[in-house]
Amino acid sequence: MSKFLKKLPWWFFFSLNFHLSVIFSQEPNKFEVIQEAGKVAFRPPTIKEIFLTLLVVAALIGIFVGIPYWLYQKYKEYIKKKTFFQLAKNYNLTEEEAQFLWNLAKELKISPTLLISSHALFQRAILKYIKNHQFENIHLISSIRNKLGFTKIPEFVPISSTLDIDVYQPVTVIVGDEQYEATVIENTEQYWAIGFMSKEPQGVKEGDEIMVTFNRPGDGRYIIVTKVLGIERRDGKLVFRLEHTDEYEKIQLRAHVRWPVNIPCKFAPLPPGAFSKDFERVLRRLKWHEGVIRDISAGGIRLCSEYYKGIEKIKEGSYVIVDFTLEDTPFENIICEVRRVIKSPMSPEICFGMLFVYLPKELQQRIQKYIWDEQRRIIRLYKESGEF
């Protein structure tokens, strides 16, 4: 073995020594690398690393969630706007008028289609617009109102603002302790004007506040406090120009809505003490008369009849029994109390305001349903004729 090694050249030993030294010198480096990797893996992250991680996560969310959502919302708005403009076109609104309503809806954060379909919402929106922008685009507002038919509402529909008050509506103006009779003579987008009939208030100046009250048949009594915008004379009469408002108090005049009808009926006055006697026997001996029901509610009726001898005995507080048919529903032996007697010298009729003494719940509901159906029918006719 030693002889064999002696025969090997010198460079062999040099090369062997070099390779062994390299091998043994690398082992400690591998261990150190693993040790350093462990330190890096288990040490807490730095603020910079946390920030960079959050930034990357936010960027990924923005790319894969935020941008698609933004594009979806833009698409939804495009479809919504396109649908609205098609609806506006059906009402003969110009593109400028449709764009005005679209911008108004966005400003007030409401549905643009409701501005076209809801009279009350349209009135409130226009009132807010005028308060914010004064009299910009008044010509557009008037044109839109006429095309949508928002110029008049049925008497039984509550007003939403002073813009709904009819011209020629009688009003009472209260200044201090005095009351003055007047009439609405003008109602525009900018103001509404009242003209005094005879007696005129004194000392009222531009900028003062006055109280205006009026009744709407089938609706209620309204009390409005508003500002005087201007004072002038027209054809010798004192005229106040008043500020529009949607703030008011309303007093319901009746517990039930009355509806005008023309229903034939039979009625008979009940004699005093009728309820303490044999009521069936009293009914057989009654004398019946023909009449017509002029209006009806779930609480009572207004019954009118030709004036005949003895009818004057029917006074306030007396009782009457009535038979009639509402569409296909019979109302038989309905006892009513007379609350009011109405006799006009200009009419041959005498009328009685009557309250139902007792009416079964199902019959009350039948009357209420009839009134609701009639109201819906009238509103539909208003819409079809372009007046609501």
Q: Does residue 370 share a domain with residue 263?
A: yes
Residue 135 included in any domain: yes
Q: How distant is the alpha carbon of residue 203 from its chain centre?
A: 39
Q: Does residue 140 share a domain with residue 52?
A: yes
Calpha distance 296→291 (Å, rounded): 14
pLDDT (0 to 100) of residue 384? 56
Query: Cβ(148)–Cβ(116) under 8 Å?
Result: yes
pLDDT (0 to 100) of residue 20? 46
Residue 2 included in any domain: no
Residue 383 included in any domain: no
Q: Does residue 185 share a domain with residue 198?
A: yes
Calpha distance 318→315 (Å, rounded): 6
Query: Cβ(126)–Cβ(107) under 8 Å?
Result: no
Q: What is the DSSP letter of 285?
A: T
Q: Does residue 365 share a domain with residue 270?
A: yes
pLDDT (0 to 100) of residue 332? 92
Q: Does residue 264 share a domain with residue 371?
A: yes
The CB density around residue 287, as the number of other CB atoms within 10 Å, is 7
Q: Does residue 263 share a domain with residue 206?
A: no
pLDDT (0 to 100) of residue 18? 46
Among 151, 178, 206, the domain-final residue is: 151
Residue 244 included in any domain: yes
For the domain that residue 288 is a member of, what is the CATH number?
2.40.10.220
Residue type, position 93, single letter: L
Distances (CA, A) of 225 to 129, 156, 161, 174, 207: 20, 22, 12, 10, 12
Q: Does residue 288 share a domain with residue 326?
A: yes
pLDDT (0 to 100) of residue 69? 66
Distances (CA, A) of 363 to 212, 359, 366, 374: 39, 7, 5, 17
What is the residue range of 371's domain? Answer: 259-375
Among 223, 251, 279, the domain-final residue is: 251
Residue 157 included in any domain: no
Query: Cβ(239)–Cβ(193) under 8 Å?
Result: yes
pTM for the model: 0.57
Calpha distance 213→225 (Å, rounded): 9
Among 96, 116, 151, the domain-final residue is: 151
Query: Cβ(228)–Cβ(169) under 8 Å?
Result: no
Helix H, strand E, coil C: the string for 35-65 is HHHHHHHHCCCCHHHHHHHHHHHHHHHHHHH
Query: Cβ(300)–Cβ(354) under 8 Å?
Result: yes
Q: Does residue 354 share a domain with residue 273?
A: yes
Q: Does residue 73 share a domain with residue 21?
A: no
Q: Write b or e for each residue in 98-112: b if 16 or more Cβ atoms lie within 10 A of its Cβ, otherwise e.
A: bbbbbebbeebeeeb
Q: Does residue 246 share a domain with residue 279?
A: no
pLDDT (0 to 100) of residue 195? 94
Q: What is the token pair recorded at 107?
A: 């400003």
Q: Does residue 345 share a domain with residue 316?
A: yes
pLDDT (0 to 100) of residue 173? 94
Q: Does residue 271 share a domain with residue 357?
A: yes
61 phi/psi in degrees, rounded to 5: -65, -45
312 phi/psi in degrees, rounded to 5: -65, -15
Q: What is the token pair recorded at 266?
A: 């039979």
Q: Number of structural domains, the chain?
A: 4
Residue 388 included in any domain: no
Distance between start and end Cα atoms, the chain = 123
Per-residue pLDDT of the chain (388 residues), as tens digits, is: 455 445 555 544 445 554 545 444 544 455 555 555 555 555 666 777 677 777 777 777 767 666 666 666 677 777 888 888 888 888 888 999 999 999 998 888 888 888 887 888 888 888 888 888 877 888 888 888 888 878 777 777 788 889 999 889 999 999 888 899 999 999 988 899 999 988 899 989 999 999 999 988 767 889 999 999 999 999 889 999 999 998 998 877 666 778 888 999 999 988 877 766 677 777 778 888 899 999 999 889 999 998 877 787 888 888 999 999 999 899 999 999 999 898 877 777 889 999 999 899 999 999 999 988 888 887 776 555 544 4
